[in-house]
Each structure stands twice: as C-alpha cells, then as structure tokens.
Structure 1
C-alpha cells in the first residue's frame, strides 16, 4: 500500500497539466488531480463525461454542488489514491455512501471537492458463527436488511428508508425502530476498515487504532472513509407488533394536544410498562397526527395492556391498524410508503430526490419538555402550520424514557454524545418539484423556536443525521457534539488529518 501511495504522489508531481486533453474550463488544480487519478487507473467522472450528472446530482435539490472530480473506486487502493491525489492537489475530499446528506455534504458542501462514491462497495456477508456482518461502505439499508436476513435470519437497528446509505447513517448515530430495543446502528459497529487522510488503510476497533474507532463512530465524515463495516447483528424476531394509530382528533385544540403529550411524556418516564420492547414516533402535518411503532412482544398483551396505556391522554382514535408481522414485513410497514417501496435497492442509478430544509431538536430525559413549551409547539402546529401552502411534517421519535438501549452506552464510548435523549424532533419542509421558497425555511425554523424560545434552559441539542446546513460550524459542533467532545475530536483531527483533507462546512477542523 505504501508503495502505491508514493507512486501516486510521484505521478502527480511528474505529469504536466497538458498530458491529457481537458475542457478549457477545467482549472489547473483539477487537471493535475485528474492526471494523477487516471495515471493510477482510478475510475472517475468529471463534468465533460456523459455520466457526470447521474453521480453529481444531490438528493436535496435545493443544495446542488459541482464536484471537481468524482471517483468511482472498485478497490481500497483506488480509495487511497483518490485521497492522496486530492490532498496533493489541495482539493478537499468527502465520501458518498447513499448520498442522502440533508446539506448535500456527500457532494462536498461546496463546489470543487473530490467525491469518493462508494457504490461499488456493495457486498453483504454474514459470518454464521459470530453473526458479524461484513458490509461494504456503499450498501443501502434495504439491501443490508435483506442480505443479513436471507443469510442467517439476522437483523440490525437501522433506519426506515431503504435507499439511505450505510456510511453517514451508521457513522453519525443511525436511529431505527429497533433502537430502543438494541441500540443505535452506530452501537453495532465492532470494526471499521478506514482510509485516512495520508492514504493509509487501517482496521479500527476498540483495540486497533482506538482513537480512529472512537472518532469515526459519531464524526466519521471528518476523519476518514469507511470502506467496510463490521456489524454485530441480532436474531430477527419471528414476529413484531406493528401499529399505526390515527389520533388526529387530538389536534382539535391546543389544550387537548398539550394535555395528551404531557400525559404521554410522563408515562414514558415513569410507567413500569415502558421498556426497550416499545418503540414509537408521532407524525403530524398539522391536520393529522398518528402514532406509529413496534412492540417486541405478544400482540394480545400489547392490545390489552400497552395500547390503552399509550393512548390514555388521547381522544378515541379515528382508526388503529395493529397487527403482527414478520421481520421483513415489519420493515416495509415502518417504511411508511403507500404502497410500501421495495427493500431491494438498485446498485447503480439510484434516482430519488427532494427539495427541502430540515431542522432537528433533541430533548433530554433530565430536562423533559415543559407544559409551556409543548403548548407553544402545538399552538404553532395548529394555528400557523395549517396556513402553510408548502408541504411539511414533524416526526417526534421516542429515543429515551425507561429501558431505552439508546441511552445505555456512556457519553465517552464514542463520538456520539446524546446518551440522555428523550424526544428527537425532525422538522421538515419541502417544495417537492416546485421552486423552493424562503417561507419554508422560516416555517421550519419556527417549529424549533416554538420550543426553544419558551424552554430556554432545556439543554437542547441536535441530531447530525438531520443536519442543518444553515448552522455555522461553531453552532453545529456545539449542538451535535458539545464543546468538550468537539475539542477532543479536534485533537484527534490535528493528529491524523492536520490539513483537513476530509472537509465539509461543518466538519471537525481547525480552519
């Protein structure tokens, strides 16, 4: 590997910018970078290639960037040369796994970066003695779920969108409806193969390169490119209780909604019925509110005991879909499509997009939402949300409460710091295929401030997988990591990537 990296650097130094034909608009830095990559036989695409737009187009069409070069590596040597060639040319690097970054940071978060697209790293292999899955860095969640289930009836607590890539999702937390039962997706990582800023290829774990292992699990975009994940899987349950309960009548008044939510919050914090077997979220678009989730247990017990207690503060439901399903059907159910989309995703040519802005809000077990904050939020949802012409939604997922495995690891076990979370809000506004308007940004911001402006001592934080690209780097790091963890991560960064080769507008970096 060292010989290959050295060769790449020598190629960059020795090849003139006129060695290959380039479009006149390509600057010298890009030309040198392309020369180095092509001399190392690294597959690439640039703006003059017919397939460039396919790989350049971001999931969030509101934030579209033009990478200088996109590499399509097939081997880890290709990934290493991608990094060393970019570093020598002074070009910033970001990896792209599934490409769903809310801020288009997997496209660099700026024009002119080098993007390492990992779509060719798409294998899933399960060891049926250790039940550790070896998973390529470009695998999408639907293919991951199918792969480990079909190879050994195994499961993982990942998110609900089948097209999301493993990279950002697992490295920045990774919530799914199995997480209160098994922990976050991040917590299943037992090893990582990582390409570092100097092009070296290392295996990181608790015993090998522990600082890299620590930093990658929570802040991976700033520290390296994970080409392979090693994940401790769980036995897939034979059946899960799936529930979708329409309680829209609760939005008939602000007071009714406030009382119901406060009753629910007290229940999840105090009731002996609440444990890691229960997972749910609330979904509202202003005129409707549903409670959706899983219960790892018996259907009849859920219906007779858990369900009435869960709904004790709410009016009589409009409808309740409560059924037992196997693991794969449960994944389809919780994905929420109508009809549900397939778990299997294309290995190339993925083409899903939206035009949107989102913010998150993480609340704490130690500082539950106050009645005043909840009332302010539902007043905004009911009286302001219904006047919006654009589409929006809020999802409020229960992370904490009694018995949650999300909060079991210590804050020092990884670079994911929210181990006292209670509710996590995702506030999302979209124009779909229409032009984006400033009103969406203002309204989504208002969903957050309806709470934070009222409960000023709430110790709120934010969830990196719902990143807010409008935050300054300092504010983002305060909200995602906190000052102490951000300082610890910067110390590691200055050791392994002092030139900030791996960069986006909110990355851990001294400049």
Structure 2
C-alpha cells in the first residue's frame, strides 16, 4: 500500500468498506471527493504519524473534525484526510474548572458532558453536529457569547501537531504568537489540534424566547430590533437572533436566549414588544441543557424555526458584519431579495453582537470582527435537487453583493469561495501578523486549502496592491 502501513488508527482507501460515507461532508451540494486515504486518528500519535507520512510521500493534507466546512475545504482529491473525530473525550477538572476537550467532539456532546460533569458550559453555537475544532479556531459565536465571549476567547491552551510532526502545547506563555493566531485565524492553517483546554462557566436556568410578526411588518421589526439590540446597551445576558424568511414562507422572527430567569428577562424584552407587537410569543425558563436541545432542533415541542436539524443538506451560506443601523435603502434591498427567491428555504439572519465579544480589541485575537459590530449577517439558501443549485447559489451571491454598501467583512467559519478579496474580508488588519505566524510555523505550507493563510500572498497579488507588512 505504498508505505501506508506506517499509518495508525483507522485507515480507509477507495476499496475499504465505509469509504463512500467517509468521503462525504455535511454539505451535499458538492460531488464526492476521491481522497487517496482517510485516516481516522484516535490519539496524538496517530496524527503525528499521518503528518509525517504525508510529508514523506508529498501528498496533500486536509484536516477534518466535524465535516462542516461550507466549501468542503476539509476534503481533497488524491490526498490524505486526517480526521480527528475519534479524539472525542471531554474531561472537566473539578478544581480548576478547565475542561480538556478532544478536537473531534461534536458540539452537542461538549454541552452534555460539561453539564453532566459540573453544570458548566463554554460559549459556542447551536448546531449539534459541528465539530469543536473548526468552530473554535475560526472564532465561534453562540447564545452565551455576549456574556462569556467567543468560543476562542475561552481557550486557555491547546495541543497541536505542527508541520515538523512534533506536538506542542500552545498557550499565552508557550508560543503566544501561535495562540493568538488560533483564536480566530481559522482551522487547517498552522497544524492539527488534538486537544483544547477551555475555561468553563457555571450555568443553571436560562430563558428562551420566540417572537413572530407578519411579513408585512418586516421593515418596522428590523428598525425596532436595531433600536432594542444596541450592542453595548442590551443586557449582556441576552443574545437575540433576527431571522427573516422568504416572502413565500412569510416569517419575521426574533429568537434567542437570556442567561437568567424569566422575571429578570421581562424588563429587558419589554421595549421591543412596546415598539412593535408580535402576533406570537413564547417565553420559557428551562435548564440550560434543555435550551441546548431546543436550539439544536432535538426537541419536538418548540417551533420548527428554532431547529437546526433538517433533511435538507444541500446549501449555500455566506456572511458579512453589520456596523451601522440599516437605512431605508438597505431595508429595500432586504425586502426585494426576500420577495424574489428561488425557493422557500431562503432567509437572512442577524445575530446580535457586542457585550463580552467587543471587550477584546480587533487585534487582541486573530478575529478582527469585534468592536463596532452590531450583528453578524448570514445569507442562507437550502434545496434538495441538484437542478436547483445554480439558482440558489446565485441568489445568495446576489444578496451578498447588494448588501456590500451596508456591511463589511465576512466570517472565516462561513467560508465562501465567491468572495474574491477573502483575506481582507476574513482578517482585515490582522493579515500581516497571520502571515508571519504561518511563515514561522509552516513555511512550506503543509497545512493548506483554497482559502488557507498560506495562499494569502497569491490572493493579494491577484487583487493588486502591496502585501501587508507587520
């Protein structure tokens, strides 16, 4: 097998049972890739052997945890997929409150294990199947982030296999430049994380909320939401999400979570309700872990709009950040695009930022989208048939382009191959420092993918203008 016997863990090739499933990612809009080998690593030694083998055989590497790359960047034809999904233990130190979490743990298991072991959590997203590694390395935003920060802000250290095949423990004292880059610089760039060490936070009951208005009220609701969700005025315990569906579906919805009891949340919510009265409202105080299941789409007794779970696995999502309240012109763009959609499963979502996220400067970590951000913006389209793909992809890109005068940047975890100036969109003024870290730890660009940091010089040369200097 061409020396593949030196690989350890579970190794699949195209003749192996399970290969066809293993070469698929979550987003099925892409045709199947044909990697030479898929190596399911079970410990650090497996990862080290895989990296060394790929370098010795000059075979491209892709790293994978939860299979959730929006552009299938964790796959490559003819290469080696180093999959860490079987490094999946969660261990909470009861004395320090530090949780050691394997890089392959899916998010729902992270939440459940931390709850079981100590009624604690980390701030992270809502999708139950996303892998902790990609989520964390690209930033990570969730329903406690305005209170506790981004997921990456809560990483105290990590263990990483570097391009030389050696394991390094990385934290603010050991390789601090690499630690900085791993807080928001994106996965698959500097090495392969095997374990994270997270600061955790005590949680108990939270209040979840769902409010809905008629579609005709969309402009009024957006304006009211903007007034209510002022990033530095809204209670840090509250994380609201505004979801605007296609006109065909006709829903204008605010959902979210308040980390505290309903009686404390009532005065926080009242200004929004006073400005524009919803036609439907649900507010419940539940144990934190129940809220995780609600927003993960696991419980059947909440409105479907709360659910991430879906049989539709072909999608195109992209992103931007809102820094200023939307003008009437911006609202017209939103209404026009939601009125002319290629299918019903199309929407735009705004996640309220601020709070603890903006307590760290835009250069304090590799993620530059913090201070001044009102909301992250997500343009989303889902479909079932391959024949529908082009229309949905074009609609998302048209929407993103039309909103460029009113938004800035993009979120590296919602990678988008259509963004031409992706280095500046993802990293803004942090580009030069990220390039320096890359050059120091991976000068041969062993860890590469189409929008990897190793390709920034080439991308900027294509765009014209000088390469940023640190």
User: Do both proteins adopt the same fold according to a TM-score greater than 0.5, normalized to the shorter chain?
Assistant: yes
> Match for residue 352 of structure 2?
398
Q: Does 1:310 align with 2:272?
A: yes
The 8 Å contact of residues 39 and 82 in structure 2, kept in 1 or not, is answered as yes
Partners of 1:271 and 1:491 lie apart in 2 by 33
Count of aligned pairs between the two proteins: 443
Alignment counterpart, residue 377 of structure 1, candidates 319, 334, 348: 334
> Match for residue 442 of structure 1?
394
Q: Does 1:143 align with 2:109?
A: yes
Distance of aligned partners of 1:353 and 1:232 in 2 relative to their CA distance in 1, 3 Å threshold: farther
Partners of 1:416 and 1:434 lie apart in 2 by 34
What's the secondary structure of 2:403's corresponding residue?
helix
Q: CA deviation at 1:361?
A: 1.2
> Match for residue 265 of structure 1?
226
Alignment counterpart, residue 294 of structure 1, candidates 257, 260, 264: 257
> Match for residue 50 of structure 2?
82
> Match for residue 288 of structure 2?
327
TM-score, scaled relative to structure 2: 0.89
TM-score, scaled relative to structure 1: 0.82
Distance of aligned partners of 1:119 and 1:301 in 2 relative to their CA distance in 1, 3 Å threshold: closer
> Match for residue 461 of structure 1?
409
Q: Does 1:431 align with 2:388?
A: no
The 8 Å contact of residues 235 and 268 in structure 2, kept in 1 or not, is answered as no
Distance of aligned partners of 1:480 and 1:126 in 2 relative to their CA distance in 1, 3 Å threshold: same
| Structure index of larger Rg | 1
What is the root-mean-square deviation in Å for CA atoms of aligned residues? 2.1
* Gap runs ≥5 in structure 1: 1-19, 21-30, 342-350
Q: Does 1:499 align with 2:454?
A: no
Partners of 1:41 and 1:177 lie apart in 2 by 38
> Match for residue 414 of structure 1?
365
Distance of aligned partners of 1:271 and 1:486 in 2 relative to their CA distance in 1, 3 Å threshold: closer
Partners of 1:313 and 1:380 lie apart in 2 by 25
* Gap runs ≥5 in structure 2: 303-309, 459-470
Q: Which runs of 4+ in 1 moved over 6 A?
A: none
The 8 Å contact of residues 355 and 436 in structure 1, kept in 2 or not, is answered as no
What's the secondary structure of 1:360's corresponding residue?
strand
Alignment counterpart, residue 471 of structure 1, candidates 419, 423, 445: 419
Q: CA deviation at 1:270?
A: 8.0
The 8 Å contact of residues 62 and 81 in structure 2, kept in 1 or not, is answered as yes
> Match for residue 463 of structure 2?
none
Distance of aligned partners of 1:61 and 1:436 in 2 relative to their CA distance in 1, 3 Å threshold: farther
Q: CA deviation at 1:239?
A: 1.3
Partners of 1:84 and 1:467 lie apart in 2 by 28
Aligned pairs for 1:19-418 (under 5 A) are 20=1, 31=2, 35=3, 37-63=4-30, 64-107=32-75, 110-219=76-185, 220-236=187-203, 238-247=204-213, 249=214, 251-252=215-216, 256-269=217-230, 272=233, 274-286=234-246, 287-303=250-266, 305-314=267-276, 316-337=277-298, 339=300, 354-364=313-323, 367-381=324-338, 383-385=339-341, 388-389=342-343, 391-400=345-354, 404-418=355-369
